[in-house]
Amino acid sequence: MIKGRDILVTGGAGYIGSHLVDSLVEGNRVTVLDNLSTGKIANIKHNMKKKGFKFIKGNAADFETVKKAAGKCDMIVHEAAVVGVKHYVENPLKVLLVNSSGMENVLEVARRIDAKVVFASTSEVYGKSGELPLSEDGDRLLGPTAIDRWCYSTSKAFDEHLCFGYYKRYALPVVILRYFNSYGPRADGSEYSGVIPIFINRILRNKPPQVHGDGKQTRCFTYISDTVGGTLRAMEEKKAVGEVINIGTDAETTILSLAEMIIRACGKGMKPQFIPYESFYGKSYEDIRRRVPAISKAKKLLGWEPKVNLEEGLERTVAWYRKVVD
């Protein structure tokens, strides 16, 4: 249990960040820095009047803003980033520049005030590696740099290198977490979001979920309480410093099966609609056929493992969306 700490959460009004803040706000001083580009005040409104909580609207890509928000905190959890496949293919320059500058600012501020950094990286770092399950010390495999789809993976990998650079040169305590397809309440249902909120948003509006390709590509979906639980353990555990740790479930599901599960959870009788990748992402888009994490390190180092199965997590998530979808 984390108590008595002074913590800055960048991107703390976003989906994962706001859930993390909910788990930290009691017994700690928590500052949220978010420019609200994808984050929402509604996600943190219930914390606004709580003792020790502060919200600052600002961009982690601006050094002075990060410096002011951090104050004399003893830990920074860096959740802020430009995310979403549509962003990767529409504005790769923004993805690269914003993500790298935000990370550099967080690390430099942390160095100056001697604060621990927990960085929210991503399973996208592995690219299309076929060495399954994906281990933290395994090789990365990406497509050509001319394919914009890989800019997000590259930006996050660069951020990881920055973390290790500060760790090795300045002995700055850093922990890198690679999240695997987190889902749950508050995830944005727009086309810039992840597959589960996109599917739910369409189905509840009586539109069939659009499955790209043949639907046989697989992912491992991690419910938000498990994502947050792993993050909290990494924040606490001293042995996690200087480490990369996968945070995700290793239960593999095809996208077609996922669509059918969500249709049932929503109580609808429709069938998925198959569409080619190029109709949505362009001809040069490359997908990843399978993505499965090795989670033995998280179990051993953090004493953490996922608890919520996909069926239960989808039921909780759909119940939340029913309340917010028009």
Give tens-digit pLDDT for 164-198: 999 999 999 999 999 999 999 999 887 778 999 99
Q: Which two tokens stand for residue 105?
A: 């600012």
> Using an 8 Å Cβ cutoff, are 289 and 218 in contact?
yes
Tell me the longest C-alpha to C-alpha distance in the chain: 58
pLDDT at residue 284, as a whole number:
67
Confidence of residue 83 (pLDDT cuts 50, 70, 90): confident
Residue 280: the pLDDT is: 65
Mapping DSSP to helix (H, G, I), strand (E, B) and coil, where does residue 121 land? strand
166 catalytic residue (yes or no): no
Q: Is the pLDDT of residue 315 over 80?
A: yes
Q: CB neighbours of 244 closer than 8 A, spacing ≥ 6?
A: 121, 136, 137, 160, 176, 177, 178
pLDDT class of 282 with cuts at 50, 70, 90: low
pLDDT tier at 18 (50, 70, 90 boundaries)? very high
261 band by pLDDT with thresholds 50, 70 and 90: very high
Beta bridge partners of 211: 274
Say yes or no to pLDDT of 55 above 90: yes
Q: Which of 194, 257, 199, 200 is nearest to 227 (CA)?
A: 194
The mean predicted confidence, pLDDT, of the chain is 96
> How far, in whole angstroms, is CA 233 from its chain's centroid?
16
- Domain locations along the chain: 6-182+223-249+292-307
pLDDT at 86: 78
Q: For 197-228, what is each residue's pLDDT tens digit? A: 999 999 999 999 999 999 999 999 999 999 99
Cα 20 to Cα 17: distance, rounded to the nearest angstrom: 5
Does this model's pTM top 0.85? My answer is yes
104-140 pLDDT tens trace: 999 999 999 999 999 999 999 999 999 999 999 999 9
Domain spanning 6-182+223-249+292-307: CATH superfamily: NAD(P)-binding Rossmann-like Domain (3.40.50.720)
Determine how β-strand 243-247 pairs with β-strand 174-179.
parallel
Where does the pLDDT of residue 326 fall: very low under 50, low under 70, confident under 90, or very high at 90 and above? low
Q: What is the mean pLDDT of residues 69-94?
A: 92
* Percent of the chain at pLDDT exceeding 90: 90
Cβ atoms < 10 Å from Cβ of 97: 14
Contact 280, 212 (CB under 8 A): yes
**What digits encode the pLDDT tens for the residues 91-100?**
999 999 999 9
Catalytic choice (126, 152, 166, 183): 152
State residue 193's pLDDT score: 82
pLDDT, residue 281, reads 65
CA distances from 215 to 101, 212, 254 (A): 36, 6, 6
For residue 171, what pLDDT is reported?
A: 99
